Amino acid sequence: MSIEQITITVDADVASAYRSASESERRKLDLLANLRLRDATRSKTALKEIMADIAQKAQERGLTPEILESILDEQ
């Protein structure tokens, strides 16, 4: 399997945690991100359904439209 680097945008907390992780932890995070992206891009489930599932889980965890808007405004 060939490996390529890509750049993704994440929030500042995620970036900080990644940068401060050990090399071993970063390799594990890279693998986890790779697996999740692979699942999302190869899934037979429509992207709209995946996004709806993510939105539902975010709401269950307390993310409100106002909080989301505030986060997006910071970008």
pLDDT in tens, 33-58: 998 888 878 877 777 888 888 888 98
Residues 6 and 15: their CA atoms lie apart, in Å, by 15
69 or 44: which leads in pLDDT: 69
Domain-wise residue ranges, the chain: 1-42, 44-75
Supply the pTM of this predicted model: 0.57
Q: What's the token pair of residue 47?
A: 């992207």
Instruction: With a cut of 80, say whether residue 1 has pLDDT above it.
Output: no
